[in-house]
Amino acid sequence: MGGSQTRPYGSDRIECEHKMPPKKSYLTNAPLAAKRLRLRRALLNWFRKNARDLPWRWSRDIYAVWVSEIMLQQTRVETVVPYFERFMRRFPTVKHLALAREDELLRVWQGLGYYTRARNLQRAAQIIFDERNGAFPQTVEEWSQIPGVGRYTAGAIASIALGIRAPVLDGNVKRVLARLFSIRDALENAQVRKRLWEMAGDLVPPKYPGDFNQAMMELGARICTPKRPLCTECPVRKVCEALEQGYVEELPTRTQRKKIPHYEVVAAVIRKNGRYLLGKRPSGGMLGGLWEFPGGKVERGENHEQALIRELREEMGIEIEVGPYLVMVEHTYSHFRITLHVYECRHRSGTPRPEYHQEIKWILPSRLEDYPLPAADLKFLDLL
């Protein structure tokens, strides 16, 4: 994470050729006051000179900070920026968001993923607008009761928008702390996670807590990166224990990840009288509220044609004839990945009905962009 006066380093990384020294017990030792003060000062000075100019940054508008923090959950800053700007233009106040139609909300969110965030955001807006008369929560505890807001998000909103001394602990902050304080145990461990929250809370200064929390996250995103950290550019390298002992890139310790399951999926593009057949997914499930071309997983022993015929019969109560193969789409979700095979199909018999879907429509090609679609479907939409 940074340089050292006693250990040489290259232009952008530390080369470690020796074994990690014996583990020391960080769990029973709070950060020293001198180190804490030095770290705060160096990090805040660096942040004020080098922080990225983001559309929600420097704002004390609680609504804007809240929206940005929800969008930033599990999503890169670079991805969020255009979505945030479009969202704020369309829903500039909590009232606009509370009264929006779900289709309209999901259409603006389309492509950002993790759609539960959007639905929780609207549920929370309705609570704030209807039950709280438009008054936003003013404490970490109150924010923690809002749908879609966990401990991290509550701390971020409270510190950035309200100036409350509250910690944050996302992936970037965990990595920074693991290196600063030589944490060798897996960060998924419950006791380690508890201690990380304590460390984060101890480090947050009473003055400028929001700037400090943003600085910690910014440091992890830009300097103290998972691979090849830019230690020579790190503003807190002089207090980094991992750098001092020479094992920056070995931390944080990672648990072995489970293999992500893969599924073969088929979808039917059915056109009739110049319109495409789409179904709206149930609001409560995955990708809830989005419209999709019908289809589903290929079961064991099925070929693509058999799977499509079965799925359309089960989902919509219709019989189809499977036609030409259109395209293959690879897509990764948070816990699995799919290979989507898209076929042009012909409607043979039966009246489409919502056996699985919340609603079914025949939609003109010119109107498809008015309906929020899953990212996998968006990847082949241009072919139509």
Question: Alpha-carbon distance 234 to 14, whole Å?
Answer: 12
Closest to 134 measured CA to CA, from 88, 97, 84, 87: 97
Q: Which of 158, 246, 254 is nearest to 204 (CA)?
A: 158
User: How far is 55 from 313, CA to CA, in rounded Å?
Assistant: 48
Active site residue 321: no
Candidates 69, 218, 241, 292; catalytic one: 69
Residue 114 is encoded by which pair of tokens?
Answer: 């993790």
For 78-141, give the DSSP string. HHHHHHHHHHHHH--SHHHHHTS-HHHHHHHHTTS--THHHHHHHHHHHIIIIISTTPPP-SHH
Strands 319-332 and 275-280: unpaired
Rounded CA Rg of the chain: 25
Find, among 175, 199, 198, the residue nearest to 187 by Cα.
175
Residues recognised as catalytic:
69
